[in-house]
Amino acid sequence: MRMTGMKNDMSRRDFFSAGARSTAVLASVATSVASPKNALGANDRINLAIIGIRGRGREHFSQWTKIPGVRISVLCDIDENLFPERVKELEKLQTVAPVTETDLRRVMENKDIDAVIVANTNHWHALTSIWAIQAAKDVYVEKPVSYTISEGRKIVEAAGKYKRIVQTGSQYRSNPMVQSAIEFVKSGGVGKVYMAKSVVYRPRQSIGRGKIVDVPPGVNFDLWLGPAPVRPFFDNRFHYNWHWYWDTGNGETGNNGPHSADMIRWALGKNEHPRRVQSMGGMYIFDSDQETPNTQISSLEYSDGVLVQLEVRNLFTNQDGGVREGVIFYGSLGRVELSLSSRSWISYLGRNNEPGPGMTREENTQKYDEITAGGLKADPHFVNFIECVRSRKAENLAAPIYDGHMAASICHLCNIAYRTGKTLAFDSKTESFPNDRDARELVNREYRKPFVVPEKI
């Protein structure tokens, strides 16, 4: 770690001790899962079902199969065309082929499934999670955990009522580099934080123009739509591009924004929502079917006056300092640049911006190697979920569903302000906009039966 020019109240010894504690916690989780006392017999195996296997769900294969006593037993997707290749790929990783399902409701009925991995489209995240929780299954749900603010609260309520283990896929919470940066900010490394900025500068190609076509063979389009309104099959709304339509996605702010939004409220210790929000932007340069903005600037204010900014640029652009994707914290003593894209962070202190503590990509890799020295090579975030499934201690989750809901809600607030074109006041206790009917209507959605998130859990 770089320690040059450190001019604040935090000693070098204190900072390194904090980093060591974070590493020790992760190491203890990895060791406990890998240790012989936790070796599981066939009857104690944790059986997983992954719902949504084209993109992120497929990436999960290499993580869960590294953890002893865990088996991916079911793959579920509305596109049957994916099954042959995915089954073959998974069989190589765990020697046992999974069964396949196209209807996630059958997965919920399967009493042999212990936990469900939710990696389908955003507009399905909440309902999939709630159905799984009600079926007495634990849940790992990818970000954003919900399509709307109201849905996120319903998952939190369901997890509490049914006492299930529900982890948010905010895997950066288990990253040593992120942990050390957050610890530095929380410990006063840059003094009193007055503003935090989320940066998502990810150039993307235009999605162009599509057309209405017949539903491809092997695709259950009705199940893909689920809670969304009925519409003809549009080839440009399907795989991945669903992110850029309001019926099914949350744009780039809701796609990658939750990671940095989570880090911001984690570092600031915020267990309330911002009280005010405004957002502007649009679709620039490209002529395409995309509905969500490819450039968006959102500003939020907490009750104590701390400012948060979320900025999205999907066009060619420069970095903000050393950050292309990540968070910048601004305080009375300096700033921290936390870069997710380069897996590093550094602080700049004082009037002369002298480099302070930080962590390089190589140092982060070394920390990971220390954590997995016992032979368990899975990402600590996945390990943490399995450990909590075994112990039934939800309080030990690295990213509880509550935190996932609060982070996603920051992004939802930004999108609601963008879509209404207004500066909005938000009531954190009621999770509503008391003075704006248009905004209130976007806190929830109108569901297509029978794919309804219940009002009462």
CA nearest to 411, candidates 248, 225, 274, 295: 274
Percentage, residues of the chain above pLDDT 90: 87
Per-residue pLDDT reduced to its tens digit, 115-172? 999 999 999 999 999 999 999 999 999 999 999 999 999 999 999 999 999 999 999 9
Confidence of residue 44 (pLDDT cuts 50, 70, 90): confident
Q: CB of 291 within 8 A of CB of 154?
A: no
Cβ within 8 Å of residue 27, ≥6 positions away = 370, 371, 373
CA atoms within 13 A on the CB side of 248: 21
Q: CB of 126 within 8 A of CB of 60?
A: no
Q: For residues 139 and 165, what is the distance between their CA atoms, to the nearest angstrom? A: 6
What's the pTM value of the predicted model, to 2 decimals?
0.90
Per-residue pLDDT reduced to its tens digit, 286-338? 999 999 999 999 999 999 999 999 999 999 999 999 999 999 999 999 999 99
CA nearest to 27, candidates 372, 366, 386, 362: 372
336-349 core/surface letters (b: 16 or more CB in 10 A; e: else): bbbbbebbbbbbbb
Confidence of residue 377 (pLDDT cuts 50, 70, 90): confident
Confidence of residue 368 (pLDDT cuts 50, 70, 90): confident
pLDDT at residue 367, as a whole number: 87
66-78 core/surface letters (b: 16 or more CB in 10 A; e: else): bbbbbbbbbbbbb
Confidence of residue 371 (pLDDT cuts 50, 70, 90): confident
Cβ within 8 Å of residue 440, ≥6 positions away = 432, 433
Mean pLDDT of the chain: 91
- Segment 369-387 mean pLDDT: 81
pLDDT at residue 30, as a whole number: 38
pLDDT at residue 374, as a whole number: 56
Q: CB of 52 within 8 A of CB of 119?
A: yes
Angle between helices 176-186 and 257-268 (to 10 degrees): 40
pLDDT at residue 186, as a whole number: 98
Q: CB of 443 within 8 A of CB of 433?
A: yes
The tokens for 416 are 């609601």
Q: Which of 65-74, 252-261, 374-383, 427-436 has the lowest mean pLDDT?
A: 374-383
What are the CA-CA distances from residue 260 to residues 69, 302, 328 (Å)? 32, 16, 10
Confidence of residue 1 (pLDDT cuts 50, 70, 90): very low
Domains, the chain, ordered by start: 12-172 (3.40.50.720), 175-369+402-441 (3.30.360.10)
